[in-house]
């Protein structure tokens, strides 16, 4: 599986963005997926994950109620809808997959088997 993220940009605080991650490969629909982010000078951190069916989702506390992860297996795409953005959400966002892990376990992982190239999200105050 190869991953390509897009949708980042510059937005004012309180605004919204939707990130998309398109996966190549026929196994996408059977793999749990996640979004991570890395802010300048900080370590990469978990943001959200979703099970292969879309039935289970997990979020880091700081984005709960503001971000929504979803997927469309027919389009090999996972999304991250980000609302009520804050300056502290500024980071490079990465989509990731790990065929040997689960969406629940990904919330505690710092390393994943497959990473996409990141997309920059900048939130101005």
Percent of the chain with pLDDT over 90: 93
Q: In this predicted model, what pLDDT tens digit does every residue of 63-82 receive, in sequence order?
A: 999 999 999 999 999 999 99
pLDDT recorded at residue 29: 86
User: Is the distance from CB of 114 to CB of 3 less than 8 angstroms?
Assistant: yes
With a cut of 90, say whether residue 26 has pLDDT above it. Answer: no
Residue 31: C-alpha distances to residues 10, 53, 81, 85, 98 (Å): 30, 9, 20, 28, 7
With a cut of 80, say whether residue 34 has pLDDT above it. Answer: yes
With a cut of 80, say whether residue 85 has pLDDT above it. Answer: yes
Residue 37: C-alpha distances to residues 2, 43, 67, 106 (Å): 18, 9, 13, 13
pLDDT band of residue 55 (cuts 50, 70, 90) is: very high
With a cut of 90, say whether residue 115 has pLDDT above it. Answer: yes
Mean pLDDT of 37-64: 97
Q: In whole angstroms, what separates CA 122 from the centre of its chain? A: 15
């Amino acid at each position: 599986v190869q991953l390509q993220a897009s949708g980042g940009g510059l937005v004012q605080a309180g605004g919204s963005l939707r990130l998309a991650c398109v996966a190549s490969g026929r196994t996408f629909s059977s793999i749990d997926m996640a979004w991570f982010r890395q802010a300048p000078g900080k370590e990469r951190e978990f943001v959200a994950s979703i099970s292969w069916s879309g039935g289970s989702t997990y979020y880091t506390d700081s984005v709960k109620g503001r971000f929504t992860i979803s997927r469309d297996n027919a389009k090999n795409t996972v999304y991250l809808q980000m609302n009520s953005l804050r300056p502290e959400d500024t980071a490079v966002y990465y989509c990731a997959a790990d065929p040997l892990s689960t969406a629940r376990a990904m919330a505690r992982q710092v390393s994943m088997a497959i990473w996409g190239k990141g997309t920059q999200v900048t939130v101005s105050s």
